[in-house]
């Protein structure tokens, strides 16, 4: 059963210039939503804007860096001006710099937290007042099953996604009696520019269009969590259930 009718609703997607975010924007447009797009690269945003417009949907773009509060606030204000009050927001922007255990990088590793964690906080802080005052809508964040354990070679990424998942779990409890729903997304591997550089085998790789359909279905149903694909979810759940010492022994050192 559908909890949110997205037709004519203004939904903002961050990280909409490529990958999952771009596919989400097109999926939302094809379901009749008005779509607000945020990312830093204006040329890429314009390409996605054209794809969303081709679905017949109203669409607007605002360039912003979600790790910067003023930038995020200004973008939300510009999108509200263009498309009306925000009904829902998908905090999807994220980066996945690997962490070298012997050379932790004070800039690159910190940037992962600034984008993946602080970016979600900024995005919700800028959009949530409109959603709360309308007394309906949704907050969604794209975390990762990679946050369910400390993955070798991805210390900052795993930790940032664990933070997002815990942040969302707490928000969902706080809002459980409210008409505003809270959805946390935990994808496995999705084929996007983020994963294109991975040199290891990515099992059960999902295409971004399919990921977008699954995510928007989950949001529309008001689901608390959207986890896919199921074989990866099952495998990671098993790994998560291991005691710390067993994971330490089993995980390859990278």
Ligand X SMILES: NC(=O)c1ccc[n+]([C@@H]2O[C@H](COP(=O)([O-])OP(=O)(O)OC[C@H]3O[C@@H](n4cnc5c(N)ncnc54)[C@H](OP(=O)(O)O)[C@@H]3O)[C@@H](O)[C@H]2O)c1
User: Which residues of this protein are in contact with ligand X, per CB under 6 A?
Assistant: 14-21, 39-41, 44, 65-67, 92-96, 115, 119, 142, 144, 187, 189-190, 192-195
- 34-39 and 59-63 as β-strands: parallel, antiparallel, unpaired? parallel
Residue closest to 25 by CA, chosen among 61, 1, 66: 61
Residue closest to 123 by CA, chosen among 55, 171, 189: 171
The helix (run of H) or strand (run of E) holding residue 126 is helix 119-134
Choosing from 124, 157, 189, 228, the catalytic residue is: 157
Report how far residue 199's alpha carbon sits from residue 215's, in angstroms, rounded to the nearest whole number. 26
Report in angstroms how near the CB of residue 211 gets to ligand X at its nearest.
Answer: 8
The helix (run of H) or strand (run of E) holding residue 23 is helix 19-30
Report in angstroms how near the CB of residue 104 gets to ligand X at its nearest.
Answer: 19
DSSP states of 83-131: H-SEEEEEE---------TTS--TTHHHHHHIIIIIHHHHHHHHHHHHH
Residues 104 and 131: beta-carbon distance below 8 Å: no
Closer CB to ligand X, 130 or 142, in the complex: 142
Report how far residue 40's alpha carbon sits from residue 35's, in angstroms, rounded to the nearest whole number. 17
Closer CB to ligand X, 136 or 191, in the complex: 191
Report in angstroms how near the CB of residue 252 gets to ligand X at its nearest.
Answer: 19
Please confirm, yes or no, whether 157 is among the known catalytic residues.
Answer: yes
Closer CB to ligand X, 67 or 156, in the complex: 67
Report in angstroms how near the CB of residue 202 gets to ligand X at its nearest.
Answer: 7
89: β partners: 12, 139
Closer CB to ligand X, 155 or 179, in the complex: 155
Report in angstroms how near the CB of residue 49 gets to ligand X at its nearest.
Answer: 13
Other Cβ atoms less than 10 A from the Cβ of 65: the count is 18
Closer CB to ligand X, 176 or 254, in the complex: 254
Active-site annotation, residues: 157
């Amino acid at each position: 059963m559908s909890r949110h009718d997205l037709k004519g609703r203004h939904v903002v997607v961050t990280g909409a210039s490529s990958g999952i975010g771009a596919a989400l924007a097109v999926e939302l447009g094809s379901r009749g939503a008005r779509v607000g797009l945020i990312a830093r690269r204006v040329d890429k945003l314009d390409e996605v804007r054209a794809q969303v417009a081709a679905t017949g949907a109203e669409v607007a773009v605002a360039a912003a860096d979600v790790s910067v509060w003023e930038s995020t606030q200004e973008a939300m204000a510009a999108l509200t001006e263009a498309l009306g009050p925000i009904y829902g927001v998908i905090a999807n922007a994220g980066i996945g710099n690997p962490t070298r255990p012997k050379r932790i990088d004070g800039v690159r590793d910190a940037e992962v937290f600034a984008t993946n964690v602080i970016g979600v906080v900024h995005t919700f802080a800028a959009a949530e007042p409109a959603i709360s005052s309308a007394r309906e809508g949704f907050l969604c964040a794209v975390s990762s099953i990679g946050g369910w354990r400390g993955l070798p070679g991805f210390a900052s990424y795993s930790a940032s996604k664990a933070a997002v998942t815990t942040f969302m779990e707490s928000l969902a409890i706080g809002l459980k009696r409210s008409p505003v729903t809270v959805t946390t997304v935990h994808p496995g591997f999705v084929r996007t520019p983020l994963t294109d550089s991975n040199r290891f085998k990515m099992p059960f790789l999902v295409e971004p269009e399919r990921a977008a359909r699954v995510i928007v279905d989950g949001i529309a149903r008001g689901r608390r969590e959207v986890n896919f694909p199921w074989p990866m979810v099952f495998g990671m759940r098993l790994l998560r259930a291991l005691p710390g010492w067993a994971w330490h022994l089993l995980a390859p050192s990278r």
